[in-house]
Amino acid sequence: GENVEQHPSTLSVQEGDSAVIKCTYSDSASNYFPWYKQELGKRPQLIIDIRSNVGEKKDQRIAVTLNKTAKHFSLHITETQPEDSAVYFCAVGYSTLTFGKGTMLLVSP
């Protein structure tokens, strides 16, 4: 089955800095790569996703880049704010989604 590795497990930044979270996967048939944000005690919610026919996608302060050859993709958050503090999960799939173990992002004022 699919194997997803996510790094780092914890990331601390100062407000205004950029944050980058990386994921690698194993199944070359996977074609859907979403990122979810989960605030403490709440449900995960999609923040951005990308399909395998696209190399990069941007939505305001967040962006995702995909390298299908190397089987890795990354989440980039620019100008971080305290409300960006949460756990972020990458996921990979074709018919179902396999999730990474998550990255706890802490943004200090």
Residues that bind other proteins (CB under 8 A): 6, 9, 31-32, 34, 36, 42-46, 49, 89, 91, 93-102
- Least gap, CB of 107 to other proteins (angstroms): 21
In terms of CB distance, is 34 or 84 closer to other proteins?
A: 34
- Least gap, CB of 92 to other proteins (angstroms): 10
Three-state DSSP at 30 gives: coil
Which token pair is 74? 């990354």
Strand order in the sheet with 72-77: 4-7, 19-25, 72-77, 62-67, 56-59
